[in-house]
Structure 1
Amino acid sequence: MAYAKLGYTGTTIGLSGPTLAYTSVNLSGYTLGLGYKQMVSQSLYAFGEVNYGSYGNKSLSPTLTNGTALSGMTVSGNGLDFLVGIGYRF
């Protein structure tokens, strides 16, 4: 059985460094996925999925440890993951 997935995703990214005070930003976006599930016996199944997530752009204004504010920074992200497994149906 083939299936598709659509969803919401969110994450928090933290930035810091020797001269950069800790700053965090929350990103949100969407996730898309495709999968396949196959029964291999009456109770046992195997499956595989691929999922893609994309986060929108967000402006960021971090501060250096000396108090100087930076501006004009934009963060975004995306990711891809693969999942394979087996399951038991009761």
Structure 2
Amino acid sequence: MRTLILMSVCAVGLCGCAQNLDAPLSPTFGRAVASMDTQIIPTPISSEPPSGSGVHGAAAIGRYDKGQVYKPETQNTSNVTSYSSSSGGK
């Protein structure tokens, strides 16, 4: 019985090797890489430091130290509303 189970497992495992390696590739082969390449936007390289305002940064640090941090506005990415049923789950 063990021999029969072992032979059937080996036969199933070898079925994956039956593919013809000389067959032409799928027409969509490599599309994922090409699609990803088009989505990458090259950023310009600069030796200049990023722009910023020392006065603005110092004011923000001062507000942080005093506990007067500005609360950011709530932002939504969609206008989805949920509706609840008042039928009691009938």
Tell me if both proteins adopt one fold, taking TM over 0.5 as the criterion: no
The TM-score by the shorter chain falls in which range? under 0.3
Q: Which has the higher contact order (CA 8 A, sep 6+)?
A: 1
Bigger Rg, which one: 2
Higher helix share: 2
> TM-score, length-normalised on structure 1?
0.16
Instruction: Give the TM-score taking structure 2 as reference length.
Output: 0.16
